[in-house]
Amino acid sequence: MELSQFIKNASHFLEQPENSVIVFQGSSYSHSFFTQLFDRIKLSFPLDFKTIDIQSGDFSYKSQLETSFLGMGCVYWLGDVASLKPKQKDECIKYLTSYQGPHKVMIFVDAKTEIAQGKKITVVTVKDKYFFEDAKLLWATQDMQQAQKIAAFLHQLYKIKTSFTLDELFLLKNYQDLITTDSKEFYESWVTRLVTADTSLFTLSQLLFEKKEEAFFRLWLQIQSLYAEMFWISFLSDQLYRSYFFIAFTQEENFAAAKQVSFGLSFSFMKQSYKQYQLIELQNFHQAIFAVDTALKNGGNMHQIDQLFVDFFSNKFKNQNS
């Protein structure tokens, strides 16, 4: 099944009893997309949505999936099963292949993993690249005014690049929701900045994780105004997510999973600077980002992002209890 079909009929797949397991399958895990998808699910459907983070070693999932309160079913997201060690991954997939309920379970697996689609399993394909026609299907809507706005936005995007990753598309969709169809200045001045790979972002990430404070803030002052607060929150969240699991997988010697999650991280981080971090520091930093995200949506400003960096360089997150 194509991802656009799942999004269009999400209510059916999540609320009907026919399918116990929904498997998203692709070559790489799209963190930003899944975060937004599940936020939408929580807002749109009267479901009890829960997350079991088996990536962090929570292998009590079987007992949770086999237990229900008064027969009430939940929707469980187990995350990126492909990042588990081979034995754990095979065991999880074998278990879910025969899972019959009482809950609905969703997972992500890599494209190389063989999944037999059956009566209780739905496989949703996640592509490497999404072209113009793909994007139209992903963002399809019955609202004519919104459809016109989406069409105008996509036409501008695909003048710049012929394809986008899933994460890129749904990051950009945050901006589409904020502009009007006649936002000429936005399209002429900002779209290129948003979708064109900018090496300065990689440099910024490198300086951040190397904790080169002076050089970091010098670059930060140059480029912070090029992007809106929403972009910086998404960028930082993604960097912290990837760095956290890169370190976790490397410590477990699960190098295949570490490589898979490393997209977008600087070479110097993967080679050397990751060694200076404990996972708790990155976890605390990530939690602080979410707090700032909430504040920005309630009238906050860019200075709160500045303060995040000040706290990080002063090692506040290293010593803070989670």
Cβ-contact 127, 26 below 8 angstroms: yes
- The CATH number covering residue 207 comes to 1.20.272
Q: Which residue has the higher pLDDT, 126 or 102?
A: 126
- Spatial CB neighbours of 12, under 8 Å, sequence gap ≥ 6: none
CB atoms near residue 244 (< 10 Å): 21
Q: What amino acid occupies position 196?
A: T
Q: What is the predicted pLDDT for the residue at 251?
A: 92
Q: What is the predicted pLDDT for the residue at 188?
A: 57
Q: Which of 125, 153, 168 is the last residue of a domain?
A: 125
The dihedrals phi and psi of 22, each to the nearest 5 degrees, come to -115, 120
Give the pLDDT mean for 157-170: 81
Check pLDDT > 90 for residue 310: yes
Q: Which two tokens stand for residue 6?
A: 């799942």
- The mean of the pLDDT values for the chain is 83
State whether 77 and 138 are in the same domain: no
State whether 191 and 203 are in the same domain: no
State whether 8 and 120 are in the same domain: yes
State whether 311 and 241 are in the same domain: yes
Q: How many domains are there within the chain?
A: 3
Q: What is the predicted pLDDT for the residue at 51?
A: 84
Task: Return d(Cα 15, Cα 94) in angstroms, integer.
Answer: 24
Cβ-contact 194, 170 below 8 angstroms: no
Check pLDDT > 60 for residue 58: no
Q: What is the predicted pLDDT for the residue at 199?
A: 59
Q: Which two tokens stand for residue 275?
A: 């060694």
Q: Which residue has the higher pLDDT, 155 or 108?
A: 108
State whether 98 and 119 are in the same domain: yes
State whether 291 and 221 are in the same domain: yes
State whether 173 and 206 are in the same domain: no
> How far, in Å, are 238, 274, 286 from residue 263 at the CA level?
10, 15, 18
Q: What is the predicted pLDDT for the residue at 321?
A: 60
State whether 143 and 239 are in the same domain: no
What domain range is 221 assigned to? 199-319
Q: What is the predicted pLDDT for the residue at 137?
A: 93
Q: Which of 107, 125, 143 is the last residue of a domain?
A: 125
Q: Which of 150, 178, 195 is the last residue of a domain?
A: 195
State whether 160 and 180 are in the same domain: yes
Three-state SS annotation for the chain = CEHHHHHHCHHHHHHCCCCCEEEEEECCCCHHHHHHHHHHHHHHCCCCEEECCHHHCCCCHHHHHCCCECCECCEEEEEEHHHCCHHHHHHHHHHHHCCCCCCEEEEEEECCCCCCCCCCEEEEECCCCECHHHHHHHCCCCCHHHHHHHHHHHHHHHHHCCCECHHHHHHHHHHHCCCCCCCHHHHHHCHHHHHCCCHHHHHHHHHHHCCCHHHHHHHHHHHHHHCCHHHHHHHHHHHHHHHHHHHHHHHCCCHHHHHHHCCCCCHHHHHCHHHHCCHHHHHHHHHHHHHHHHHHCCCCCCHHHHHHHHHHHCCHHHHCCC
Largest CA distance in the chain: 58
Q: Which of 121-125, 148-152, 209-213 has the lowest mean pLDDT?
A: 148-152
Side-by-side strand order, sheet with 121-125: 49-51, 75-80, 104-110, 21-26, 121-125
- The CATH number covering residue 11 comes to 3.40.50.12060
Tens digits of per-residue pLDDT, 258-282? Answer: 887 887 788 788 888 899 999 999 9
CA atoms within 13 A on the CB side of 94: 6
Of the pLDDT bands very low, low, confident and very high (cuts 50, 70, 90), residue 184 is: low
State whether 49 and 138 are in the same domain: no
State whether 55 and 96 are in the same domain: yes
Q: Which of 1-15, 50-64, 274-288 has the lowest mean pLDDT?
A: 50-64
Q: Which two tokens stand for residue 60?
A: 């009590």
State whether 214 and 151 are in the same domain: no
